[in-house]
Amino acid sequence: MKIIKKDDLDSFVDYLIGSDPREVVGVKERGSKYAFDKLKSSKELRLDYDVTILPPKKYLLPQRETLLKFKSNDKIKTEPVNEVNGRIIVGVHPYDLIAIEQMDRIFSEEPEDPNYLKKREATVLIGVNMKNTSERCFAGSMKTAFTQDGYDLMLTDLGGKYAVEIGTEKGKELLKKSGVALADAGEEDKKMIEEKKRSLTFESKINFEPSDLPELMKSNYDNDKFWEENADNCYSCGTCNLVCPTCYCFDVKDLMEVTLKEGSRIRQWDGCLLEHFAEVAGGENFREERAQRYRHRYMRKGLYLHNRFEDIACVGCGRCSSQCVPDIADPAEIFNKLKEGKI
């Protein structure tokens, strides 16, 4: 663990922007909100933000990307496409780091997804422990407010300086190349880090342990009245899916040029709340009813991913509930209602 002065951290970020061949992105203001975007200067970087509009997964699984190009002359010829840009992402909160670890496991399953994995390999993650939390954040309840891994470097604001925890050789090498001034963290610094973490208070928004979720979801799968009542005002817009850091569903389409001799295969984000998500050839829709789609979203978060990877696929970032227009997408509220047996 190292200590870096705030001015030297600015110099470090400016060094990365000016000298590292990789794109440097970080959290920037967007009116009253925050978003990950390309940095032109360390002065644009906001490490005191509460939550970003979209999670950093957008750089690893882009909203839309080309998977292959094809030509159909005498023979059909295909050419795989994977646009990999080296990237350093600065200011990732612990819950988003945990979400990326989940994505790593998912896309590493056979058959591996090279488009995701090569982007991930070319990415450096510089995390930052939260200084402020959004109104809807319940990361404390989900045990995702802090993490000991998943980052190359992790920053903790200690006032006029930052503690820098080195998580990987990649992170260590980045600091070394920059030549930035660093000091070893002393016992007082380590105590200060723990005090900073304790001072970040989280309201307990879930009235039970997250480990109880899988059994709770399983026992309520056939609770049709509950799902119908709570889905009644859902717009099926899919916003909750699109802003979620652990949602990874996508649709694949072939697009032909007007000549009908060449085209491309693309994938783009999709979401289980959208009406046609579960529609297959012939027009059959396996989740035609809104309540079925609504239930599926929560089952995926609390049960299905746990069955596969032992992960609870909700990290408590609060993005879904804060951006849901009818305000019916708050996982903490739904989980508590199920636990208490309320409609």
> Average pLDDT of the chain?
94
Q: What is the structure's pLDDT at 76?
A: 87
d(CA 154, CA 239): 30
Kindly state the average pLDDT of the residues 248-269. 94
Does residue 231 carry a pLDDT above 90? yes
* H or E stretch covering 106: helix 94-108
Q: What is this structure's pTM? A: 0.95
* H or E stretch covering 308: helix 305-309
202-228 pLDDT, tens digit each? 777 898 999 999 999 999 999 999 999
Q: What is the structure's pLDDT at 195?
A: 85
Strand 23-30, strand 87-92: pairing = parallel
Does residue 201 carry a pLDDT above 70? no
pLDDT band at 199 (very low <50, low <70, confident <90, very high): confident
Q: What is the structure's pLDDT at 72?
A: 85
Q: Which two tokens stand for residue 284?
A: 């059959």
323 three-class SS: coil
141-188 pLDDT, tens digit each? 999 999 999 999 999 999 899 999 999 999 999 999 999 999 999 999
Q: 16 CB contacts (<8 Å, ≥6 apart)?
A: 22, 24, 88, 90, 174, 178
Burial 185-218 (b: 16+ CB within 10 A, else e): beeebeebbeebeeeeeeeebbeeebeebbeebe
Q: Are 128 and 92 in contact (CB under 8 A)?
A: yes
Percent of the chain at pLDDT > 90 equals 90
* H or E stretch covering 72: strand 64-72
Domain ranges of the chain: 2-199, 210-340
70-104 pLDDT, tens digit each? 998 878 899 999 999 999 999 999 999 999 999 99
275-321 pLDDT, tens digit each? 999 999 999 999 999 999 999 999 999 999 999 999 999 999 999 99
Kindly state the average pLDDT of the residues 54-63. 98
As a whole number of Å, the CA-based R_g of the chain is: 22
Cross-strand partners of 279: 285
d(CA 89, CA 130): 16
Return the amino acid letter for 194.
E
Kindly state the average pLDDT of the residues 329-341. 94
> Could you give the residue ranges of the DSSP H alpha helices within 140-288?
169-178, 187-199, 213-219, 224-230, 239-242
Q: 151 CB contacts (<8 Å, ≥6 apart)?
A: 92, 97, 125, 126, 127, 165, 167, 168, 171
100-128 pLDDT, tens digit each? 999 999 999 999 999 999 999 999 999 99
pLDDT band at 340 (very low <50, low <70, confident <90, very high): very high
